[in-house]
Amino acid sequence: MILCSLCNKKEASVYYTEVVNERVLKLSLCKECAEKRGLGMASLLTSLSEVAFQLHKAKKEKIVCNSCGLDYNEFKQSGLLGCANCYKTFSKYLFPILKQVHSHLLHTGKIPQGYDFNKKSLEYQRNRLQTELNTAVRKEEYEKAALLRDKLKKLETLLKTN
Amino acid sequence: MKLKELLETKNEWFGKEGPSFGVVLSSRLRLARNLAKYRFTQRASKIELKQILEKARQALTGIPNLRNSIFFNLSRLDKIGRQFLMERHLISCELMESSRGCGVLIVPDKNVSIMVNEEDHLRIQWLASGLDLRSNWLNISQLDDYLSGKFDYAFSSELGYLTACPTNVGTGLRASCLLHLPGLVMTGRIEKIIHELNKLGVVTRGLYGEGTKVMGDLYQVSNATTLGKGEEEIIQEIEGVVKRIISYEDNARDSLYRDSLTGSLSGNYSINLGDQVYRAYGILSNAQLISFEETLNLLSKVRLGVCMKYALPCSLEKINRLMVSTQPAHLQLSTKGELSIFQRDRLRAEILRSSLKG
C-alpha cells in the first residue's frame, strides 16, 4: 500500500506527474490532499488545462473564438462550447478534457451521409501520429508508443475504406 | 388538445413487457446533433434559435416512415404540459425548464422524440420497453441518416459529431437503461455496485436523468464515453454491463427471499421481504392522501413482490402504468386543471386504491 506523499497517513489514490523542461516531479496523493491541492477529481478537468497553461506561458493569453465570440473563461464556467469552430479555437484546452472523459481522441463511429471526407486531413493526421510515434520510441516511452500505434492502425483502416 | 392524444395513446414503452422486464424498465438511445452554420444553443441569438426551430419543424414533420407525429413549440405549452412530457421521458428536465425557443417532435406509436434547441440543436431519442438497445440502433441510425440529408450537421473527421459539451462529442450517443434495483438497495450492496460501474466507464443517474435524485429504487445507467468507440461497440458494452447488474440484482432478491422464509439475518440487513412487500401494498391500497415520492417508494416494494411471485392482485404492467400515471402533471392533465398539493395527494390515493383492490 502506497501512502500519501503529503500527509503520510492515508492510502494514495491519485498519482500526479508533472514534467517541466525535462524535470519530472511525481506525487502520490490521498483523495483529501489531492482535493486540497486542486488535483482531486472535482477540479481535475479545469486544473489540468490550467496547469498546462501556466507551465508553458508567462503571460495570460486572451483566446476568443472568432465565429461565436466565446472566450476561455466563459467556457470554463459553463463547460459548454459556443459553436463548431470552438473545437479548433480551444483545441489545446480541450485535449486534456477529452483524454480524461473519453481516453480516446479520434472519432471511429458513423459519418453523416454524403459527407465530403477530406482525405487530406486524414493523411495529415496520420503523418502527425507517425511523427509522435517515432519520437516516443526514440525517447523509450514504449507505453505511449503502443497507444499511438493502435491509433495509427485505426486511422490507416479509415483511410483505406475511403 | 394535442397532449390529450398522448395521454390516450396505447403503445407506450411503459405498458409493454420487454426483455428482462423484472429489472429493466426501459432502454433509451439518444443521439446529439448540431447544425453546422449556427452557434450552439446556449450561445445562439433568439433569431438563430427561431430559425433553427422553424427549419427543424419543417424537416421533422415530413419524415416518411413516421406518420402521426406531433410537433410541440414548447413556449406555447403551459407548465403542466411541459412537465407532462418530461414525466413521460419524452423531453429532458433541461428542455422543460428552458425559456429559449425550443420544441419537440413526438411520434407516439414509435416511442420516438426529437428535441430541438436543448443543449444541442437536435437530440434524437428512441425509447423501448425492457432491455432492448441493439435492435433499436438500426432504427435510430436510419432516422439519423435521413435527417443528415435535411440538415448540414456540424462534424469533423477528427472529432466526429460536434456537440456543445465535449463530454458528448464523437458519436454523440448516450445508450441508457432504467433499472429497478430494490434488491441491491435493501441488501446494502448498491453503493459498491455504483462504485464498480464508475470504474467501468458507466454513469448512474436518478429517475429523470442528469441532476435528478434517485426515487423508487430506480437507477438510470449509461455510457460515459462517446468518442473513440463505434456506436455498436458502445451499445454492446452497456448491454453487457446491464446484464451483469441484472444477475447481481437477482442474487440479492433471492437472498432476501430465502432469509424472509426462515427469519434469518444472513446479510447485514434486517428487513423481512414478505413483510415489507405486504406493508407497502397495505398502505397503497388504503391511504387517503399520498405523495408521489412515497408512492414510488412503496410501488417499488410491491413491484419487487410481484416479481418474486407473492400473491398480489396486480401485474407488472399495471404497476408500471401506476408509476407513470400518479406523477403530478399526469394527474392534473387528466382532470384538466391545476390542483393543489392536497388535491393531488388525494386524487393519487383514490387512483391507487381503485387500481390495487383485487
Percent of chain B residues past pLDDT 70, beyond the cut: 96
Q: Nearest-CA distance from A50 to chain B in Å?
A: 17
Chain B environment of A102 (Cβ under 8 Å): 169-170, 225-228
Cross-chain CB nearest to A82 (options B39, B159, B170): B39
Yes or no: say if A109 and B172 are a contact pair by the CB < 8 Å rule: no
Chain B environment of A94 (Cβ under 8 Å): 166
Percent of chain A residues past pLDDT 70, beyond the cut: 75
Return d(Cα B201, Cα B212) in angstroms, integer. Answer: 20
Yes or no: say if B115 and B57 are a contact pair by the CB < 8 Å rule: no
Q: Nearest-CA distance from B145 to chain A in Å?
A: 6
Chain B environment of A68 (Cβ under 8 Å): 39-40, 43
User: For residue range B188-222, what is the model confidence (pLDDT) as tens digits?
Assistant: 999 999 999 988 889 998 888 777 778 999 999 99
**How many A-B residue pairs are in contact by the CB < 8 A criterion?**
111
Return d(Cα B92, Cα B90) in angstroms, integer. Answer: 7
The answer, for A62 touching chain B at a CB cutoff of 8 Å, is no
Please, what is the average pLDDT of chain B?
Answer: 90
How sure is the predictor about A59, in pLDDT bands with cuts at 50, 70 and 90?
very low
Instruction: Tell me A113's DSSP state.
Output: T
Residues whose CB is less than 8 angstroms from the CB of residue B139 and which lie 6 or more positions away in sequence, other chains included = B126
The answer, for B229 touching chain A at a CB cutoff of 8 Å, is yes
For testing the chain A interface, which of B37, B148, B159 should be mutated: the one with the most A CBs within 10 Å?
A: B159
Instruction: Tell me A12's DSSP state.
Output: P
Return d(Cα B337, Cα B331) in angstroms, integer. Answer: 9
Chain A environment of B154 (Cβ under 8 Å): 83-84
Backbone angles phi, psi at B174, to 5 degrees: -120, 115
List all residues of chain B from 153 to 212 with a beta carbon under 8 Å from chain A.
153-162, 164-167, 169-171, 173
Give the residue-averaged pLDDT of B298-303: 96
How sure is the predictor about A55, in pLDDT bands with cuts at 50, 70 and 90?
very low
Yes or no: say if B101 and B117 are a contact pair by the CB < 8 Å rule: yes
User: For residue range B233-256, what is the model confidence (pLDDT) as tens digits?
Assistant: 899 999 999 999 999 999 999 999
Chain A environment of B170 (Cβ under 8 Å): 102, 104, 107, 109
Return d(Cα A67, Cα B166) in angstroms, integer. Answer: 18
Q: Do B228 and A105 touch (CB under 8 A)?
A: yes
Yes or no: say if B223 and B237 are a contact pair by the CB < 8 Å rule: yes
The chain B residue lying nearest A125, using CA atoms, is B158
Query: Which grid coordinates belong to A91?
Result: 483545441
pTM over 0.90: no
Q: Nearest-CA distance from B313 to chain A in Å?
A: 47
How sure is the predictor about B266, in pLDDT bands with cuts at 50, 70 and 90?
low
Torsion angle defined by CA atoms of residues B311, B314, B317 and B322, in that order, rounded to the nearest 10 degrees: -130
Rg of chain A in Å (alpha carbons):
19
- In this prediction the ipTM stands at 0.84
Query: Which grid coordinates belong to B128?
Result: 423501448
The chain A residue lying nearest B34, using CA atoms, is A84
User: Of B96 and A61, which is predicted with more confidence?
Assistant: B96
A40: closest CA among A6, A19, A15, A72?
Answer: A15
The answer, for A70 touching chain B at a CB cutoff of 8 Å, is yes
User: For residue range B118-147, what is the model confidence (pLDDT) as tens digits?
Assistant: 999 999 999 999 999 998 899 999 999 999
User: Of A134 and B101, which is predicted with more confidence?
Assistant: B101
Return d(Cα B357, Cα B317) in angstroms, integer. Answer: 16
Yes or no: say if B17 and B125 are a contact pair by the CB < 8 Å rule: no
User: For residue range B15-51, what is the model confidence (pLDDT) as tens digits?
Assistant: 777 889 999 999 999 999 999 999 999 999 999 999 9
Query: Which grid coordinates belong to B284?
Result: 397503497
The answer, for B52 touching chain A at a CB cutoff of 8 Å, is no
**Helix, strand or coil for residue B331?**
helix
Q: What secondary structure does DSSP assign to B29-80, as a single string? A: EEEEE-BTTS--TTT--HHHHHHHHHHHHHHHTT-TT--S-EEEEGGGS-HH
**Helix, strand or coil for residue B199?**
helix
B86: closest CA among B115, B61, B60?
Answer: B115
Query: What are the Cα distances from residue B207, in Å, to B166, B210, B211, B220?
Result: 24, 9, 10, 6
Cross-chain CB nearest to A104 (options B145, B148, B228): B228
Backbone angles phi, psi at B132, to 5 degrees: -150, 75
Give the residue-averaged pLDDT of A92-116: 83
Q: Nearest-CA distance from A26 to chain B in Å?
A: 23
Backbone angles phi, psi at B61, to 5 degrees: -80, -5
User: For residue range A20-42, what is the model confidence (pLDDT) as tens digits?
Assistant: 555 666 778 888 877 776 666 65
pLDDT at A49: 54
B289: closest CA among B345, B353, B356?
Answer: B345
Give the residue-averaged pLDDT of B320-343: 90
Return d(Cα B74, Cα B52) in angstroms, integer. Answer: 14
The answer, for A111 touching chain B at a CB cutoff of 8 Å, is yes
Residues whose CB is less than 8 angstroms from the CB of residue B32 and which lie 6 or more positions away in sequence, other chains included = B119, B120, B122, B123, B161, B163, B168, B172, B173, B174
B172: closest CA among B116, B254, B257, B230?
Answer: B230
Q: Nearest-CA distance from A20 to chain B in Å?
A: 27
